[in-house]
């Protein structure tokens, strides 16, 4: 069985590590990035099936990170994590073909239910 690759992108290293550990325990192949530039490189190199992406990051935010990823990869599924749901963010997320949008703080079961549902599509 091929393990699905998932890229976790969040500027908080602890969150990246926790989600990656949980993904690995559930049989996924997990990669992590704590900034947009690294996420773009890892996405190009590893070609994950799914990206879990925080929108609020210093420097390059999640929207810009996803814009740059979409220039080369329009197939990867994306779950966005956000603490802010302003109309502009919702529009930008919709324009970038995001599969799912979840609010922070994220519930562990809700995240993994979303991952299963997105990867089953």
pLDDT single digits (tens) 3-59: 899 999 999 999 999 999 999 999 999 999 999 999 999 999 999 999 999 988 999
Q: Return d(Cα 108, Cα 121) in angstroms, integer.
A: 21
Question: What pTM value is reported for the model?
Answer: 0.91
Lookup: tokens for 69: 């990823």
Instruction: Work out the pLDDT band at 94, boundaries 50, 70, 90.
Output: low
Helical H runs in the chain?
13-25, 36-46, 62-72, 87-95, 108-120
Task: Tell me the average pLDDT of the chain.
Answer: 90
Contact residues for 15 (Cβ-Cβ < 8 A; gap 6+): 8, 54
- The rounded distance, in Å, linking the Cα atoms of 27 and 45 is 20
At residue 115 the predicted structure's pLDDT band, cuts being 50, 70 and 90, is very high
Domain ranges (residues) in the chain: 5-120
The proportion of the chain whose per-residue pLDDT surpasses 90, expressed as a percent, equals 69
Of 49-63, 85-99, 100-114, which has the strongest mean pLDDT?
49-63
Contacts of 44 (CB under 8 A, 6+ apart): 72, 73
In this predicted structure, the answer to whether residue 86 has a pLDDT above a threshold of 60 is no
pLDDT band for 104, please (50, 70, 90 cuts).
confident
Contact 53, 66 (CB under 8 A): yes
Domain 5-120 has CATH 3.40.50.2300: yes
């Amino acid at each position: 069985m091929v393990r699905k690759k998932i890229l976790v992108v969040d500027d908080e290293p602890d969150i990246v590590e926790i989600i990656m550990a949980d993904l690995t325990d559930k049989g996924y192949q997990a990669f992590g990035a704590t900034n947009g530039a690294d996420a773009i490189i890892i996405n190009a190199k590893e070609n994950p099936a799914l990206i879990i992406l925080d929108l609020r990051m210093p420097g390059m935010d999640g929207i810009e990170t996803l814009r740059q990823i979409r220039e080369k990869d329009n197939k990867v599924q994306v779950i966005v994590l956000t603490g802010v749901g302003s109309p502009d963010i919702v529009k930008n997320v919709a324009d970038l073909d995001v599969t799912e949008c979840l609010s922070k703080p994220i519930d562990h079961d809700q995240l993994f239910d979303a991952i299963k549902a997105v990867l089953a599509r």
